[in-house]
């Protein structure tokens, strides 16, 4: 078995490599430490960043818009599984919104196997499902005079008592609720719900300083730097002793 020899060249290389790594880390530590030391002077606790790259590090993201409808100047939309009235979250649904209508001073929202009744302010009145008699597999939602109308994959249904009872309709109704394009300013209002102000610069520099910005790996990175500090110390002493001997 070949004997491993510790040479002056190899020790110098270890000392050089660990020295560079530790130097980079100390520069990083110094810069972030200076910012943190002057948090109040720089107002870092009052400043926020909404950079997509930084928000991604904190797992803060904006879900995709799924559907949007407009009724009586109200925008009803679904982002991810959250349904909004304007920029107000009202309920969660994994199922897509089929249609939205204004009926008897209420907002009626149809999903595949049920209806959600809201006040104009977004307060929940009632949820109606197939268990309460709502026809299954809803494809369209509409209103005609005092009737609430649903279209399923087989026929059209109507109700004149706010969806409590349903009967097959012989109406040729065809003015169903349809999706609309949501204006950018309305979408931006929704963004504030998910993203808030973003991440404060104070928190960002603090997490950079202590390694939490890279979650679990930050702990291991600090362990590696600690090992490098040991190596640079031991190799430095070894080099000094060798020079002293010769």
Task: Let me know if residue 60 belongs to a domain.
Answer: no
The number of domains in the chain is: 2
Query: Looking at the domain assignment, is residue 215 inside a domain?
Result: yes
Using CA atoms, how far apart are residues 198 and 191, in angstroms rounded to an integer? 10
The predicted-structure confidence for 177-203, as pLDDT tens digits, reads as follows 999 998 888 888 888 888 888 888 888
Domain that holds residue 82: 66-181
Query: What is the Cα–Cα distance from 36 to 176, expressed in whole angstroms?
Result: 58
Tell whether 165 and 219 lie within a shared domain.
no
Q: Is 180 exposed, middle or buried (0-12, 13-18, 19+ CB in 10 A)?
A: middle
For 110-143, the pLDDT digits (tens) are 998 899 999 989 999 999 998 888 998 999 999 9
Residues 6+ apart with CB under 8 A from 156: 149, 150, 168, 169, 171, 173
Residue 6 is predicted with a pLDDT of 62
**96 and 163 inside one domain:** yes
Q: Quick one: pLDDT at residue 240?
A: 74
Whole-number Cα distances in Å, 235 to 75, 130, 157, 245: 68, 75, 84, 15
Question: pLDDT, tens digit, for every residue of 21-42?
Answer: 888 888 888 888 888 888 888 8
Instruction: Render pLDDT for 209-235 as a digit per residue (tens, 0 to 9).
Output: 877 777 766 677 777 777 877 887 877
135 DSSP 8-state letter: P
203: tokens are: 């928190």
189 located within any domain: no
- Report which secondary-structure segment, H or E, holds 77: strand 74-79
Q: Mean pLDDT in the chain?
A: 85
Q: Within this chain, do residues 230 and 126 fall inside the same structural domain, yes or no?
A: no
Q: Which two tokens stand for residue 183?
A: 């204006």
CATH number for the domain that contains residue 168: 2.130.10.10
Which residues fall within 8 angstroms of residue 216, CB to CB, at 6 or more apart?
Answer: none
């Amino acid at each position: 078995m070949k004997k491993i020899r510790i040479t002056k060249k190899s020790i110098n290389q270890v000392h050089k490599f660990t020295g560079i790594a530790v130097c980079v880390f100390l520069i990083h530590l110094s810069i972030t430490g200076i910012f943190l030391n002057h948090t109040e002077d720089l107002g870092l606790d009052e400043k926020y960043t909404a950079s997509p790259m930084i928000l991604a590090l904190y797992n803060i993201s904006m879900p995709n818009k799924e559907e949007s409808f407009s009724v009586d100047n109200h925008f009803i939309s679904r982002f991810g599984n959250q349904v909004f009235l304007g920029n107000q979250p009202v309920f969660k649904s994994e199922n897509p919104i089929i249609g939205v209508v204004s009926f008897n001073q209420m907002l009626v929202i149809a999903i595949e196997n049920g209806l959600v009744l809201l006040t104009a302010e977004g307060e929940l009145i009632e949820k109606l499902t197939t268990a309460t008699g709502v026809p299954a597999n809803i494809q369209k939602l509409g209103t005609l005079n005092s009737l609430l109308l649903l279209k399923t994959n087989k026929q059209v249904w109507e109700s004149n008592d706010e969806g409590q009872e349903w009967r097959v309709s012989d109406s040729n109704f065809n003015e169903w609720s349809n999706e609309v394009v949501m204006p950018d300013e309305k979408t931006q209002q929704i963004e504030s719900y998910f993203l808030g102000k973003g991440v404060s610069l104070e928190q960002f520099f603090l997490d950079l300083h202590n390694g939490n910005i890279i979650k679990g790996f930050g702990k291991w990175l600090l362990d590696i730097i600690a090992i490098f500090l040991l190596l640079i110390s031991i190799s430095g002493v070894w080099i000094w002793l060798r020079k002293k001997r010769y």
